[in-house]
Structure 1
Amino acid sequence: MNATLATPLTAADRCDRCGAQAYVRARLHAGGELFFCAHHGREHLPRLRDLADIDDQTERLQETPAASTADEI
């Protein structure tokens, strides 16, 4: 993955299909980017693999938030 694709997607990045938070970025070789939620990424990326560099950050959906210090008291 190149460094420009390594930039984490944020809550401000939205799926171009449904508006949900984007976890997949497809940077098209012809120019431009497409953003997808995990669901639409699974649906559309097989057709885009030869046309774009793919940044799939869906593993972030499995992350567990750190426990707060209040839980440790």
Structure 2
Amino acid sequence: MDTDLFLVLGSLLWCLAVPSAASAYSEGRRPRLAIAFVLLGGVMVLPAMILHPGGYAFADVPKAFFRVLGRIF
């Protein structure tokens, strides 16, 4: 897998953690799924940041999303 894909999938997992945490909070449950999403997202984003030559700047993240979407479509 390439670092752009790791970054995109990890970021998407982080985004999915927010509604999961809100749902768990509103229903009075523990946010187990949200915690799992945050941890898995971190496990994917951290190696992407380290292994990408020069790292990622904040402005590079949308470009990475479009590169991954371009490969899919």
Is the pair's TM-score, using the shorter chain for normalization, greater than 0.5?
no
Q: Which has the higher contact order (CA 8 A, sep 6+)?
A: 2
Higher helix share: 2
Higher strand share: 1
TM-score normalized by the length of structure 1: 0.29
